[in-house]
Structure 1
Amino acid sequence: KVRSDDDFIFYNQPAGQGVTYRSGGGTAPDAIVVDTAAVPPGIEKIVVTASPDGAGQTFQGIEPTATVRNADDGSVLATFTPPQLGAETALVVIEVYRRGGAWKARAVGQGYADGLAGIATDFGVSVEEEPAAAPVAVTPPAPVAAPVDPRIAAP
């Protein structure tokens, strides 16, 4: 379960205790850096999620790949590309979790057709729907009086 909004790390909030997001700027892969020594003791799991940039865009034809690297030397410890995706608009890619005092990584690859809201709901976050816009009352324009020629005196 998520404790608060402070636990979310993303492009508008790129750093938290022990977790940092770095954008690849469209030319390189984005990176999630997990410093397990800096993660607070009460945190048992870090879930790395992804969603395509475009509103309503799905993962059809996109192959997101997670690469787990050693923080000391950058060597690849594991890579994971989920099976072919289709209508999914959000994805749990990988989990970094604490078990028996040690940190481990697990490939997940679970897609969601209802976007990041579906993932958030599964992790105990209440997602409030944007209220529907109130209908706008259309008032017909008030009749406009014909212009008055000041040279004409009123009776």
Structure 2
Amino acid sequence: MSDLVPGANVSLREVPGLRLLRISLEWDAGRENVLDERLGVAALPLVDEKLPGRSHVVFGNQPTSPEQSTRLGASNGVVEIDLDAVPADVGRVAVIVFIHPRPGAARRSLSQLRSLRAVVTDAEKGTPITRSVDLAKSAGNVTALIAVEVYRRGSEWKVKVNGQGFDGGLDAGLAQFGLPA
């Protein structure tokens, strides 16, 4: 299994019987306990590259999508996608890691992490499919990052390492996909 760089993708067609995909965002904050405590993960099922509404944002306060095809896993930093249950109009699921803002707290950025990787596995079999390079090194001074996208090309599902960062935490991610803060 080779490490995917931002922009690289892998076809899921080559994983026989794959139904439940697990994306684990694994990070090492080192001694930055405050940063570690403020990290969150969200999954954004997109229709025509836009979020259909706030009820579709999968994150800590709303751990499943309305039809329950996309959900947070049992562990912190894990998103699971039931590929068979994803609505036909959802063409992409963006998985974002972000820093929760705290009024009056010192500003943190994802570049302060020692490491940040996305690991993609077949959740039912536990077999690895792919993983990303260390995304923290190239994250820059941002508070949110699209780590991975799971998307359709025709009837085929693919996984792409994205690495696009932006400032403003999850709200900036939502705005990126058409929801005002």
Alignment TM class, shorter chain as reference? 0.7 to 0.9
Q: Which residue of 1 aligns with 2:146?
A: 92
Deviates more, 1:116-125 or 1:99-108: 116-125
CA distance in 2: counterparts of 1:52 and 1:64, whole angstroms: 13
Letter in 2 for 1:42: D
1:54-112 alpha-carbon deviations (Å, 9 max, x no partner): 63421132122111101331111111132513311011110000111111110001111
Residue 70 of structure 2: which of 14, 19, 22 is its match? 19
1:7 aligns with 2:56: yes
**1:96 counterpart SS class:** strand
CA distance in 1: counterparts of 2:175 and 2:77, whole angstroms: 24
Q: Which residue of 1 aligns with 2:173?
A: 119
Shift in CA distance, 43/7, structure 1 to aligned 2, threshold 3 Å: same
1:30 aligns with 2:81: no
Higher relative contact order (CA 8 A, sep 6+): 2
Percent identical: 28
1:75 aligns with 2:127: yes
**2:110 counterpart SS class:** coil
CA distance in 1: counterparts of 2:52 and 2:159, whole angstroms: 21
More helix by share: 2
CA distance in 2: counterparts of 1:105 and 1:45, whole angstroms: 10
Displacement over 6 Å in runs of 4+: none
Q: CA deviation at 1:53?
A: 4.5
**2:84 counterpart SS class:** helix
TM-score by length of 1: 0.72
Q: Give the total of aligned pairs.
A: 123
Residue 157 of structure 2: which of 83, 93, 103 is its match? 103
**2:55 counterpart SS class:** helix
CA distance in 2: counterparts of 1:66 and 1:46, whole angstroms: 14
Superposed CA RMSD in Å reads: 1.7
Structure 1 residues without counterparts, runs of 5 or longer: 128-155
Q: Which residue of 2 aligns with 1:46?
A: 93
